[in-house]
A = this chain, B = another copy of it.
Amino acid sequence: MNISIIIAHPLRSSFNHAIGKTLVESINQQAHSVRCHDLYEENFPPALPPQEVPRGAPLPDMVQTHCRELAEADGIIVIHPNWWGMPPAIMKGWIDRVFRPGIAYEFIEGDSGEGIPKGLLKAQFALVLNTSNTTPEREEKEFGDPLETLWKNCIFGLCGVPVFRRRTFSIMVASTKGQRADWLDEARNLAAHLISEK
């Protein structure tokens, strides 16, 4: 299986990076192929440029690589902090530029774009791992936990990924070393479970 991992956090010392490292190691041990992208590390340019708007537009190598890997992934794991109910801008840019028509979804022929798109991704699962400094109760009650519908329905559901799991680790700033170790175990188990089910 090809597993793609995408991480977005500006600090390499972040817990998000610790999750990524943990997952790369454990998935490699299961003899699966892991492709891991640290979007900050590779300095991914987030803004979709005008010339990439048209369908079939020529793409820079970096974006082409991301598109190919997204299309080839059997499982997709994204790791990012909850910033304003959304991913950091650099990951929003990865979505804007990589989840292209013809790669992640397509409109039915003859439809001018206002119809219902068909998902094209072959990935069997998506796992979203978030960190947050808001309690789950407040996130749900005050904000409606928008990351859930964003990743589940707007993105992976629309693109045809049948199995979706998400876990938010909070409250990060108040967490203990032991709690963070448990969270890494939990992330490892979540990924292993999804991979073994396929």
Residues of A with Cβ closer than 8 Å to B? 10-11, 40, 44, 46-50, 53, 83-90, 92-93, 95-96, 99, 112-114, 116, 133-135, 138, 142-144, 146, 149-150, 153-155, 157, 171, 173-174
Contact = CB atoms under 8 A, between A and B. Distances in A.
Nearest to A97: B89
Contacts of A49: 10
A115 B190 CA distance: 29
Task: Name, among A48, A95, A96, the residue most crowded by chain B CB atoms within 10 Å (CB to CB).
Answer: A96
Number of chain copies forming the complex: 2
A47 B92 CA distance: 10
18 contacts: A10-B53, A40-B50, A46-B89, A48-B88, A84-B92, A84-B154, A85-B149, A85-B154, A86-B92, A86-B150, A87-B92, A88-B92, A88-B96, A114-B174, A143-B153, A143-B154, A144-B153, A146-B154
A82 to B, nearest CB: 9
A10 B47 contact: yes
Nearest to A52: B10
Contacts of A157: 142
